[in-house]
Amino acid sequence: MRYKLLFVCLGNICRSPSAENIMTYLIEQANLSEHILCDSAGTSSYHIGSSPDRRMSAAAATKLGIKLRGHARQFQKSDFQDFDMILAMDRENYEDILTLDPTGQYHDKVYLMCEFCSRQTLKEVPDPYYGGVEGFNQVVDLLVDACEGLLKCIISQQPRV
């Protein structure tokens, strides 16, 4: 049985696919690919089917040497059942996800991504879409920190991992 993570932002072309791919890279480095699965989604339908933003892809390639894979999809209510943890990039997306669970049944699965940072002090992953190169680089640095912390947390809490 695999432990399943879902990373969520607004459009699923910048932050959440970066988190998904960075986490997948860290999981591969730790030889845990058969135990942990990653996916990403957006709370909006703006970019369904689109590849990750080219500026985000360039930042990930330059800073980490990884290629961002995947295509944007919208968060679905069924994701609550399908995933063990749902990681929102910012407070607005966090609230949008919780709104889709009015009974609160799955609220304990939803987290803010920055809760897992150990070096960075930001509480939310900023949306770099309308900014310059430095914003995309900042997102990569922030997500590396958060993903490293998340992986440590999962390993410490999941005896089967």
Q: How many CB atoms sit inside 10 A of residue 115's CB?
A: 13
Strands 110-112 and 3-9: unpaired
Catalytic residue among 15, 53, 73, 90: 15
* Cα–Cα distance, 133 to 100 (Å, whole number): 33
Catalytic residue among 114, 127, 145, 147: 127
Nearest of 53, 69, 58 to residue 130 by alpha carbon: 53
* Cα–Cα distance, 17 to 58 (Å, whole number): 13
Which residue's structure tokens are 């991992």? 161
Active site residue 15: yes
Active site residue 9: yes
Catalytic residue among 9, 14, 38, 114: 9
**Residues catalogued as catalytic:** 9, 15, 127
